[in-house]
């Protein structure tokens, strides 16, 4: 399994999923324009080896397809991720085993936790070069200016590591940072995130908050950092569970924090509570420019360490498809067993990329009683923290393929009476970046019951769905080649043949 970025890039190249670009390119708009075209077409990862104004290469679109995200997790297909989700579900909300088989499964999961304990490297590759104080110059990193209306260059795929000033438990998150000067950046985060909580605690204690930014890490660690965890669990431990063995960590040079030992670049610094700067606007995942934050936390960096000949790994946000959407699709599979544990009646769920990976959800249930679809939607919103910001929940029968928009649309149009089956919850805490809401941070949710109705939901008899005759279908399967149609692969459907215009 690839254990650092370089090994993963080699894996992609061996599988024909990496292109090296030697032509000079500009990090101002040009790199993102090239990468975006590849993202839209499901193209390969890119390694720009000649970036203007920089001495290091730039890797982008590394996780630009679900297939490559699966490879990062040492898997081949998204379905395999649910087995990992089963393991995590046992640890996410452990329950006393009731049978011998459940006890065995719990024992295996606990043994995996032991194997996942982080390990320490005394001579880590990420500290082959050490720059301190006046030698720190963040402008040497080829950060991107992604959109013409952006306020400046941004760093978007670094792991921000902080530590709870009281408990000492680390938090690892991925946030957008904006370059302010050769040694300062601002950060854009939500107030509920772990790093934000740590800063508030540090302010109460009259301390600075120590920060490390790890850039160019094993993609698997990025996925672990993007997984919603209980507050008292470490992302390093989850990364070890993902990998099947502990992540190698290294103690920073100037702050009391640990970072992945094989990181390409590490930035070390502090945030002084109350010290802020203007951040934004910048292109965001919603598909618009985010607003200006007049008081964004300011990070001051006094040390940079890196590997010899480092590789800068980055990405950017925007209207899907983008790399964050690909990661979300894979994590969707991991969440599924955890969600089933919380809400057993939910058979499957899907967060479509076009719904910004969390704004719209489709649930399938085995319906057994009236009102069950509404109950499932309400339970979904409260099951995991990231579902708080889901605006639309569509509930369908388990016979519907929730990953086929044609089937979902048929269920909505054929099974829904808006007056009866649509319900709206007003005045919920909401994502401030969502410009559709009337007031920032406060919005509504909509549930749609697209299941087959049972009494007393309706007094009308529900007609039988049209399905092919099974015997005739089997006959046609057997004789398909005899008809002279054996060369037709009807499994590869071009949506544009059905009136869509997808480019």
Return the active site residues: 284
Question: Which run of H or E residues covers position 31?
Answer: helix 30-40
The H or E element containing residue 376 is helix 372-383
Which helix (H) or strand (E) covers residue 109, if one does? helix 100-115
Its sign, for the CA torsion 328, 333, 336, 338, is negative
**Distance between CA atoms of residues 448 and 362, nearest Å:** 10
Do 392 and 355 touch, CB atoms closer than 8 A?
Answer: yes
What's the 3-state SS for 435-483? CCCCECCEEEEEEEEECCCCCCCCCCCCCCCCCCCHHHHHHHHHHCCCC
247 in Cβ contact with 188 (< 8 Å): no
Question: CA 129 to CA 108: how far, in whole Å?
Answer: 41
Please answer whether residues 322 and 285 qualify as being in contact, where contact means their C-beta atoms are separated by less than 8 angstroms: yes
Tokens of 48: 């720009």
Residue 90, token pair as written in the block: 């046992």
Nearest to 271 by CA among 296, 252, 293: 296
- Exposed, middle or buried, 407 (CB in 10 Å: 0-12/13-18/19+)? middle
Cα separation, 321 vs 289, in Å, equals 17
CA distances from 117 to 75, 185, 215, 237 (A): 21, 32, 22, 6
How many CB atoms lie under 10 A from the CB of residue 202? Answer: 22
Burial code (b: 16+ CB inside 10 Å, e: under 16) for 454-476 equals eeebeeeeeeeeeeeeeeeeeee
Angle at the Cα of 275 from the Cα atoms of 273 and 281, rounded to 5 degrees:
115
Residue 349's DSSP bridge partners are 363
Please tell me the distance from the alpha carbon of residue 236 to that of residue 248, in angstroms, as a whole number. 9
């Amino acid at each position: 399994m690839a254990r650092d970025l370089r090994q993963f890039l080699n894996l992609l190249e061996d599988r024909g999923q990496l292109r090296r670009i030697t032509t000079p390119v500009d990090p101002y708009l040009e790199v993102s324009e090239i990468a975006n075209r590849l993202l839209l077409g499901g193209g390969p990862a890119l390694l720009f080896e000649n970036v203007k104004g920089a001495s290091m290469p730039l890797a982008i679109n590394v996780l630009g397809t679900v297939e490559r995200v699966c490879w990062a997790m040492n898997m081949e297909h998204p379905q395999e991720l649910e087995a990992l989700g089963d393991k995590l579900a046992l640890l996410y909300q452990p329950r006393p085993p009731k049978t011998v088989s459940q006890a065995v499964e719990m024992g295996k999961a606990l043994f995996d936790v032991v194997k996942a304990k982080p390990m320490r490297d005394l001579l880590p590759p990420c500290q082959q070069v050490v720059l301190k104080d006046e030698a720190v110059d963040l402008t040497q990193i080829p950060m991107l200016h992604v959109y013409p209306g952006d306020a400046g260059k941004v760093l978007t795929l670094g792991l921000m590591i902080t530590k709870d000033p009281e408990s000492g438990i680390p938090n690892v998150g991925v946030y957008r940072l904006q370059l302010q000067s050769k040694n300062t950046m601002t950060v854009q985060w939500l107030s509920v995130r772990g790093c934000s909580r740590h800063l508030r605690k540090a302010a109460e204690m009259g301390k600075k908050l120590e920060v490390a930014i790890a850039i160019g890490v094993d993609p698997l660690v990025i996925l672990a950092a993007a997984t919603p965890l209980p507050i008292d669990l470490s992302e390093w431990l989850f990364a070890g569970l993902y990998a099947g063995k502990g992540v190698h960590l290294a103690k920073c040079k100037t702050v009391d924090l640990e970072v992945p030992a094989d990181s390409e670049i590490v930035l070390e610094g502090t945030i002084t509570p109350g010290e802020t700067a203007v951040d934004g606007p910048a292109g965001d995942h919603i598909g618009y420019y985010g607003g200006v934050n007049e008081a964004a936390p300011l990070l001051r960096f006094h040390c940079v360490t890196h590997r010899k000949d480092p590789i800068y790994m980055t990405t950017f946000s925007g209207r899907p498809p983008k790399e964050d959407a690909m990661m979300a699709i894979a994590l969707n599979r991991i969440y599924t067993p955890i969600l089933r544990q919380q809400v057993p009646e939910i058979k499957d769920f899907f967060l479509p990329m076009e719904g910004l990976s969390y704004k719209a959800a489709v649930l399938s249930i085995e319906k057994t009683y009236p009102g069950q679809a509404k109950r499932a939607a309400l339970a979904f919103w409260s099951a995991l923290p990231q579902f708080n910001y889901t605006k639309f929940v569509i509930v369908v029968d388990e016979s519907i393929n929730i990953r086929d928009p044609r089937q979902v649309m048929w269920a909505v149009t054929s099974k829904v009476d808006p007056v009866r089956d649509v319900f709206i919850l007003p005045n919920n805490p909401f994502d401030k970046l969502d410009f559709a809401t009337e007031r920032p941070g406060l919005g509504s949710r909509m549930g749609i019951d697209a299941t087959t109705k049972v009494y007393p939901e309706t007094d009308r008899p529900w007609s039988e769905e049209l399905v092919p005759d099974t015997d005739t279908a089997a006959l046609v399967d057997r004789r398909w080649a005899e008809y002279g149609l054996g060369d037709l692969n009807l499994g590869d459907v071009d949506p544009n043949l059905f009136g869509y215009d997808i480019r």
